[in-house]
Structure 1
């Protein structure tokens, strides 16, 4: 299988061609895709035609599939795949997140061991809106002003599943909340494989930054968002049916634009975990 890729957007997103995610892959192909992903944090595959079993096999090339806590949106018979959709069946949503815009966040950062990767597969796409924006937090940290770095180096932020639920159209059950108590992670994280330092931050989940005065919390968090979300650090994905995108949650955050409620949008979301010995985020040596 011949693999080729090109960089798009601001230069950290890699569009890979010459691969079919529904096929069995050789170890060489798996390793090459992993190398490209480690280098660029986000990879994109076009024109895929996948069943759930194909997605599960693809995820299995890289790690243990992640099972999302919100079981009400699992794909039928596939707890490792979650539906992201505004489509309703018998008056009830079949998936999460509706048609509204979603702010900057990092998936499952409210867990002690967050998912390493998120993978999205485009099944139904609206004619306008609904773009996914991914921010390169490693580059944002590398180019961060010294004074802002000094404010966050050695600090930890506290994240909560309840915090993000306030911004969504579904509730967190008591059982789900009990399974995900608030957790603190380093604001500057070491990549588990490359060792690369990166900002590790999820604005929509943040309760507070430990070590920052209460009257400075809002301002410091705003500075981090404003700096990291500059156009030079952000790739905007305009969806096509059959697209698959895979990003590294340890070095990125993402958000979504809204789209007309009259249009249907259905994505399948999955992802994978790190091995147990690497799964808990560790601070970078700054």
Structure 2
């Protein structure tokens, strides 16, 4: 089958049809996928039946992979149910221990691991088990968010740097070994430009990480808080977003450099098991 790219019709996202990701992609097919990814930011592959090795092999076509973060390892013991490159995202508890991370709570808008100096450029998430409802994942286009930023807000952030706090997870839980942040000017994390340049497309986008404990450097705290509140309210507008309702066998890959995402909460008595790979990135500029 020829590769088909079907845009969602929303601000971002497209479905890719005609590919079986349990088989290595040809160079031509990968180039088509890569261009579609640059064009649409998030790609969906439905009805896949892949192993962890297949997920790793597909993800590696985009670049070198990260090892599962320490937070995932801490929460899930040794992650013996997967390869080191795979982060298990799950609410399931077996023998008194979580098999994965992030549980069943709502995950607020964020970019994956922006609190490190070289955040992942992309995340690839594959669904193995899903609840009857809930757990949907939404994405927002940060190119468009920047393009439609009011002039005064754009002027206020030009050349600014934001600290991306590392103390909490995307579901608001304190990481193992971290202390509660009392003063955002002293929060741990990494400092990145508020407006970043995509190294492949050259496009400019907002890059905020997550709201909790964020701080725009060299501003009074009250001014930083007010500015971040306005930026996040703008980014969360529905016209920038697309929401995916998961089915078993769905695989999504998204570009962390120009998108944010969030997850709906779901019934914790139902199982949700996802496997995620992360592609390494470079320091934002």
Q: TM-score, normalised by structure 2?
A: 0.91
Aligned 1:25-64 pairs, distance under 5 A: 25-64=25-64
Q: Distance in 1 between matches of 2:131 and 2:170?
A: 25
Residue segments in structure 2 that go unaligned for 5+ positions in a row: 179-187
Aligned 1:65-214 pairs, distance under 5 A: 65-70=65-70, 71-72=73-74, 73=76, 74=79, 76-164=81-169, 167-168=172-173, 171-173=175-177, 182-204=189-211, 206-214=213-221
Q: Is it true that 1:257 corresponds to 2:264 in the alignment?
A: yes
Equivalent pair of 2:106/2:171 in contact (CA under 8 Å): no
Deviation at 1:166, TM superposition (A): 8.3
Deviations 1:66-115 (A, max 9, x none): 21322244463511101000000011111101111011111010110000
Larger deviation, residues 13-22 vs 63-72: 63-72
Residue segments in structure 1 that go unaligned for 5+ positions in a row: 175-180
Q: Distance in 1 between matches of 2:123 and 2:48?
A: 17
Within the candidate set 243, 252, 262, 1:245 is matched to: 252
Seen in structure 2, the aligned counterparts of structure 1 residues 165 and 23 have a Cα distance that, compared at 3 Å, is closer
Number of residue-to-residue matches in the alignment: 272
Deviations 1:145-197 (A, max 9, x none): 111111111101001211447812x63237xxxxxx52100000000111100
RMSD over aligned Cα, in angstroms?
1.8
Deviation at 1:16, TM superposition (A): 0.5
Deviation at 1:210, TM superposition (A): 0.9
Q: TM-score, normalised by structure 1?
A: 0.90
Q: Distance in 2 between matches of 1:80 and 1:103?
A: 24
Secondary structure of 1:121's aligned partner: strand
Q: Distance in 1 between matches of 2:213 and 2:258?
A: 17
- Give the equivalent residue in structure 2 for 1:177: none
